[in-house]
């Protein structure tokens, strides 16, 4: 198990860009074992001064948009420019078995063997927003290991997907055309958080449909108030498969970084994200503590059945459960 190493081994290994130690450190962060969690926090304290130096990019999109193909090509382009790229690819977990496919390394075949890249597939588990509980901390570890670009690939667009925007500097939404009503394929909340929309697979016979879809997205964005007073989200066409439009896309990301940095918004965004991280971790800790009492867990199981059968409202069930939790606590 990863926890066989000492704290200094983890810190030194990460700072020396040892990918084997990096992978073990991330495994430690993802562990639910209390001893592992304690050690993980010690390791994070050691690497924290060396983190924060990357461009953090969240990438999301509707199913079938081609995220993995896009990231594979985009990552290769970036490493060819001299960057070191870490990809945190969150796989959907089965709601029935809890398992996940974890197949991103096979879907990003070229980037997986690139010495300047690191791909870490992780199961999303039960965490909302398509990101693992340890994703934020994993970003810090990758930065300390010298990766100057961190790409976070999320499960897919949904109402809770906006959580990814709370841990990155730039939120990229990939869309495709020719899949029905394009504007119905993306939630308003995601549109409001997007720093850029890129219509992928805009090549060959699909180019004209992609241009029409892009025009629709531009019109939709005009109806929304931009998240930043200094940045209006552009809508671009690209093709990960044909490697078209990715250079322009990267130019827009660097322009965003420069503008947000100059205005002070980037620093403000990151500091705000830290507070939201605290809130999210507190919610997780309270939920874990509540479930740690066998009597409370038993009552929760009973109340879930009662709610499901319509015998009690969810609000009343929460009140009963909370009262019991306060008594045993």
**What single DSSP character describes residue 183?**
G
Please give the average per-residue pLDDT across 119-123, as a whole number: 80
Number of domains in the chain: 3
pLDDT tier, 33 (very low <50, low <70, confident <90, very high otherwise): confident
Indicate the SS3 state at residue 134.
coil
Q: Are 57 and 71 in contact (CB under 8 A)?
A: no
CATH code of the domain containing 180: 3.40.50.300
Average pLDDT value for the chain: 86
Q: Are 150 and 142 in contact (CB under 8 A)?
A: yes
Quote the CA–CA distance of 87 and 311 in Å, as a whole number.
Answer: 46
Asked whether residue 304 falls in the same domain as residue 225, the answer is no
> Does pLDDT of 293 surpass 70?
yes
- The residues, any chain, with a CB within 8 Å of residue 292's CB and separated by 6 or more, are none
Asked whether residue 161 falls in the same domain as residue 208, the answer is yes
Asked whether residue 44 falls in the same domain as residue 89, the answer is no
Q: What is the full DSSP assignment across 59-110?
A: EEE-TTS-HHHHHHHHHHHHHHTT--EEEEEEEPBPTTT--B---HHHHTHH
Asked whether residue 17 falls in the same domain as residue 142, the answer is no
- pTM for the whole thing? 0.86
Indicate the SS3 state at residue 187.
coil
Asked whether residue 177 falls in the same domain as residue 43, the answer is no
Q: Are 57 and 168 in contact (CB under 8 A)?
A: yes
Asked whether residue 1 falls in the same domain as residue 37, the answer is yes
pLDDT single digits (tens) 160-170: 466 778 889 99
pLDDT single digits (tens) 87-114: 998 755 433 334 344 445 567 889 999 9
The predicted structure's pLDDT at residue 187: 60
Q: 321 is in which domain, residue-wise?
A: 275-328
């Amino acid at each position: 198990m990863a926890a066989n190493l000492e704290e200094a081994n983890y810190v030194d290994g990460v700072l020396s860009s040892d990918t084997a130690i990096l992978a073990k450190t991330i495994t430690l962060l993802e562990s639910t074992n209390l001893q592992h969690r304690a050690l993980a926090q010690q390791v994070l304290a050691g690497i924290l001064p060396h983190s924060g130096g990357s461009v953090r990019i969240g990438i999301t999109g509707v199913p079938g948009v081609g995220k993995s193909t896009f990231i594979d090509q985009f990552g290769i382009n970036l490493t060819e420019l001299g960057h070191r790229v870490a990809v945190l690819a969150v796989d959907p977990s089965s709601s029935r078995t809890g398992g996940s496919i974890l197949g991103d390394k096979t879907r990003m075949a070229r980037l997986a063997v690139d010495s300047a890249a690191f791909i870490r597939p992780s199961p999303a588990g039960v965490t909302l927003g398509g990101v693992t509980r340890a994703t934020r901390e994993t970003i810090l570890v990758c930065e300390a290991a010298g990766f100057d670009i961190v790409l976070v690939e999320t499960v897919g667009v949904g109402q809770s997907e906006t959580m990814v925007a709370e841990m990155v500097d730039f939120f990229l939404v990939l869309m495709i055309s020719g899949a029905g009503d394009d504007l119905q394929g993306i939630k308003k909340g995601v549109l409001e958080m997007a720093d850029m929309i890129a219509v992928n697979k805009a090549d060959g016979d699909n180019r004209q449909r992609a241009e029409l879809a892009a025009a629709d997205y531009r019109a939709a964005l005009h109806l929304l108030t931009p998240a930043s007073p200094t940045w209006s989200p552009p809508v671009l066409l690209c093709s990960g498969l044909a490697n078209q439009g990715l250079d322009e896309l990267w130019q827009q990301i660097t322009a965003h970084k420069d503008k947000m940095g100059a205005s002070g918004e980037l620093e403000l965004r990151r500091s705000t994200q830290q507070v939201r991280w605290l809130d999210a971790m507190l919610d997780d800790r309270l939920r874990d503590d509540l479930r740690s009492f066998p009597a409370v867990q038993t009552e929760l199981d009973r109340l879930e059945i009662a709610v499901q059968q319509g015998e009690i409202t969810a609000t009343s069930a929460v009140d009963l459960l909370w009262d019991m939790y306060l008594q045993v606590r």
